[in-house]
Amino acid sequence: MSTTWHNPLVEQRADPHLSLVDGRYWFTGSLPGYDGIELRSAATLAGLAGAPATVVWRRHESGPMSWHVWAPELHRIDGRWLIYFAAAERDDIWKLRMYVLECQGADPVRDAWVERGRIATPEEGFSLDATPFEHAGRRYLCWAQKSPPTESNLYLAELANPWTLAGPPACISRPELPWERIGFHVNEGPAVLVRHGRVFIAYSASATDANYCMGLLWADAGAELLDPASWHKSPVPVFATDAAAGQFGPGHNSFTTTPDGRVDLLVYHARGYRDIVGDPLDDPNRHARVQPFGWRADGFPEFGSPLPDGPCAA
């Protein structure tokens, strides 16, 4: 049975996170005002475009979690709904830290959410884009954190509980390649995919303009993931601007599937134009898009290029 939708799926939602839980799609992303966290849900991908959007949490008036509410992700872990996100302070707008909310009931839209606090890391400082995953009976958190001279590297640690690291993190990727260092030296926005005997982590690199693109890390599924030597990096971007398709700066992706689980889907944001007036972060037109992707004979994902806007099917 074909699954169809229209791109962009949700306009003005950067850093899109889309998951399929018990046959229902759940969507969230950064709001244009960076001032809260919104959820929407639908039985189909196409239904998300017109689904009611419910703000489940608003930023504080001052102090921690009062500015730059970025990149929320909704996850269900051990039957509990959790939201991971980053936020800064009104009086220190780049003091970004990672936080967790927990839903007090079974319905993420209707039930109350409580703040579980900040995810503390050994290296105090700018941190964002936390994403949890489970592999081989162990729970991990992957995130981006500033460590001069780079703007952000990717770190991985095991979790003691959903908001507490169990031990020291490992740095698994630094922006060392030329295409990761355009405008800013950035590795951020990790998204995990486990297939064909490997753990893949897609991530985004460079400034948030048309140079933004996706890279790919991988480790063997049986390797020690906390050993940086287990990880390998694609020497070239795996998903990047396609001017002919009218897609600029694709990145900060997540992964999901069609309802039957047979087709893998890449979820990402991109702009429909190259030239931006002022700071790219002030431009709200990073729209959420979805497209199918396949697999090469060697077991690696083949993302291809961004598709032009319009009808899409899988």
Q: Which residues are catalytic?
A: 15, 188
Residue 124's φ and ψ, nearest 5 degrees, are: -60, 135
Which two tokens mark 7?
A: 């791109």
**Nearest CA-CA partner of 253 in 215, 223, 282, 217:** 215
Helix (H) or strand (E) holding 48: helix 45-48
Evaluate whether 213 touches 187 at the Cβ level (below 8 Å): no
**For residue 79, how many other CB atoms are within 10 A of its CB?**
6
CA 214 to mean position of chain CA atoms: 11
Query: Is the previous residue joined to 8 through a cis bond, with omega within 30 degrees of 0?
Result: yes
Alpha-carbon span 190 to 229, nearest angstrom = 18
